[in-house]
Amino acid sequence: MLDAAQKGGYAYPAINITSLTTISGALKAFAEAGSDGIIQVSTGGGSFASGTAVGDEAFGAIVLAEATHLLAEKYDILVALHTDHCHPAKVDSFLKPLLQASRERIAAGKGPLFQSHMFDGSVVELDENLTISKELLAECAELNIILEIEAGCVGGEEDGHDTSGLPAEKLYTSTEDMVEVYESLHSIGRFMFAATFGNVHGAYKPGSVKLKPTILRDGQNAVIEKYGADAEMDLVFHGGSGSDLDDIRETLGYGVVKMNIDTDTQYAFTRPIVTHMCENIEGVLKIDGEVGNKKVYDPRGYLKKGEQGLCDRLKEACDDLLSTGKSIFGTV
């Protein structure tokens, strides 16, 4: 998938899921768009999926991943499973159990549970970040899993990832750091690189976020000039929600093959549910001793609307990233 995106000049939307309903909405979107895609689980998403009585991030991620494996068999597109931001403090409790689950799956004659994981070492100095990244990438490579790493920090707050208090200069990865990341990791295994160029998690009014995609261009060019065209890195665009289309399309020319979209799809899921509640308030609630209307307070009714809202927004992301109609399902 990554090779096809690099060659074709497009990228995959990567959507965070938390439930069977959001998985189904994502798979439906990719299938209707004729696009392959990436479905990912955060630590918070895993905790939620395991239930309030359990609250186990890794266990919930395994539940969601196994469900996606089963549901994806019904669709003629390729889907890669990925885990989002894992900080150093959660490597042992989140990432390691998931790698072990993949190891057990492979021993049973299946593929890995996840095709890629993200280690977010941006909260520590680059030397420490790369030391841990090298160890994790070596383990991932043994299991045919790709590791995504981050140098520089994505701003804002999302699902336990909060860098809202950082100074602005931390939001931009330097060219030197991009070269150092390549030199440290390329000989170990395939990796994706979330280099930061002012991107921020969350939703903001137009003009609030100052993206500088040329940072990706300059860093990528420095690597290619030193090590050749084959050294082009697979770059990741975090904080894709709310971004201008011009900025999105510009990054595709600099090697971005994955864009995370979470805030916009969360809103797209919730908005039709809110409309349903407002339009059917007397049926949803048992007001003044009445019995309500089971047809409108049955969760299946409004969750289907949320699934469709998510689906519609994700198809828009496929269009933005030029992945629509480019599935390689059946060719690999």
Q: What pLDDT, in 10s, does the model give residues 90-122?
A: 999 999 999 999 999 999 999 999 999 999 998
Predicted pLDDT at 156: 47
Predicted pLDDT at 61: 98
Is there a contact between 93 and 58 (Cβ–Cβ < 8 Å)?
A: yes
Question: Cβ atoms within 10 A of the Cβ of 231, count?
Answer: 15
Predicted pLDDT at 154: 61
- The gap between the terminal CA atoms of the chain, to the nearest Å, is 9
Q: Is residue 331 part of a domain?
A: no
Q: Is residue 125 part of a domain?
A: yes
Helix (H) or strand (E) holding 148: strand 146-151
Q: Is residue 44 part of a domain?
A: yes
Q: Is residue 165 part of a domain?
A: yes
% of the chain exceeding 90 in pLDDT: 84
The band of 202, judged by pLDDT with boundaries at 50, 70 and 90, is low
Query: Among candidates 73, 72, 42, which has minimal Cα distance to 60?
Result: 42
Specify which residues 12 forms β-bridges with.
258
When the pLDDT of each residue in the chain is averaged and rounded to a whole number, the result is 92
Query: At residue 19, what are phi and psi to the nearest 5 degrees?
Result: -160, 170
Q: Which residues lie closer than 8 Å to 19 by C-beta, 6 or more apart?
A: 48, 49, 64
Predicted pLDDT at 242: 78
User: What token pair was written down for 11?
Assistant: 């990228």
Q: Over range 152-176, report the average pLDDT.
A: 62
Is there a contact between 239 and 260 (Cβ–Cβ < 8 Å)?
A: yes
Q: Is the pLDDT of residue 201 over 70?
A: no
Q: Is residue 275 part of a domain?
A: yes
Predicted pLDDT at 153: 58
> Is 84 part of the annotated catalytic residue set?
yes
Helix (H) or strand (E) holding 218: helix 214-227
Q: Is the pLDDT of residue 319 over 50?
A: yes
Q: Which domain holds residue 110?
A: 2-320
Annotated active-site residue in 84, 177, 234, 320: 84
How many domains is the chain partitioned into structurally? 1
Q: What is the CATH number of the domain that holds 15?
A: 3.20.20.70
Q: Over range 302-317, report the average pLDDT.
A: 98
Tens-digit pLDDT profile for residues 229-279 = 999 999 999 987 878 899 999 999 999 999 999 999 999 999 999 999 999
Predicted pLDDT at 169: 56
The band of 161, judged by pLDDT with boundaries at 50, 70 and 90, is very low
Is there a contact between 115 and 82 (Cβ–Cβ < 8 Å)?
A: yes
Q: Is residue 332 part of a domain?
A: no
Compute CA distances 1 → 189, 222, 233, 273, 290, whole Å. 16, 25, 14, 34, 55
Q: Is residue 330 part of a domain?
A: no
Q: Is residue 328 part of a domain?
A: no
